[in-house]
Structure 1
């Protein structure tokens, strides 16, 4: 499986591709570095995204997961940059419960590109599985200009 890493404000990130689609984004530097057209496009897009977040992903995403997880991840892709939804709101759109949505969000194999950081708890920021945990989530939301002041205040 081809992989390509990049330096980011959150530290090193590694993209993985299969059959012309991005299937994973992981924290850390990958062992193998292969410059395929898709991986180079994704790396360039992310470099620009960290300067000016956008929702227009010009390459295919193909995360591995259950049909339910994929439904949840499809709902995450509908959340515009700079906005947040609660786990309950995503559950209302995708089906299931807040807890099942939280589990699907936590298993998102392509964070940032599938914006799981835009999902928050009803009473606070919620969790985040990136290397920096909720600090990374807050940083990503602030980068996008999301209204998180009230969310962070509710956390105390």
Structure 2
């Protein structure tokens, strides 16, 4: 008689509808139904994948437009989950124009929140670039964190995006 318990295994393999090469990473595009749900920063040596749907093609077209012209304004159907606080932070971040930055503290004051809570919401952002959490920096003008990291490749991506936008 087996003593093994029933263990449910979930498939952790992500299905990307496109993988777009960018100078700093390959952008993994995830779409559910008619909504963009995720953009993930994949390793630069990840094999690109041509768009698998009309929406994936449009997401890639708009991301490419941003990579060419940093003031490009996105117009995509986004599926934004998250808590009410996270959604408020993400809405505030979307008002920061290309080439400008705001601090975690400034956004916290605007939303009657705390800088760390704003930072956690930025780290939970599943649609970076389009929800430009890279434009949120430390109060002292330093980079702050990015993608729940305080050093390494995530900060290099943040630096690249800010330089690209000349912030």
Q: Same fold (TM over 0.5)?
A: yes
User: TM-score w.r.t. structure 2 length?
Assistant: 0.79
Aligned to 2:90: 73
Unpaired segments ≥5 residues, structure 1? 147-156
Aligned to 2:26: 12
Q: CA deviation at 1:72?
A: 0.5
Larger radius of gyration: 2
| Residue 128, structure 1, aligned to residue 128, structure 2 | no
2:20 and 2:49 in contact (8 A); partners too: no
Q: Deviation per CA, 1:54-105, whole angstroms, max 9, x where unpaired?
A: 3521211112211111110111110000000000111122331001000000
Aligned to 1:113: 130
CA separation in 2, counterparts of 1:51 and 1:31?
A: 18
With over 3 angstroms needed to count, the CA separation of the structure-2 counterparts of 1:77 and 1:37, relative to structure 1, is same
Unpaired segments ≥5 residues, structure 2? 1-14
With over 3 angstroms needed to count, the CA separation of the structure-2 counterparts of 1:5 and 1:25, relative to structure 1, is same
CA separation in 1, counterparts of 2:62 and 2:26?
A: 15
CA separation in 2, counterparts of 1:30 and 1:116?
A: 26
1:55 and 1:80 in contact (8 A); partners too: no
Relative to its length, the structure with more helix (as a share) is 1
CA separation in 2, counterparts of 1:87 and 1:98?
A: 5
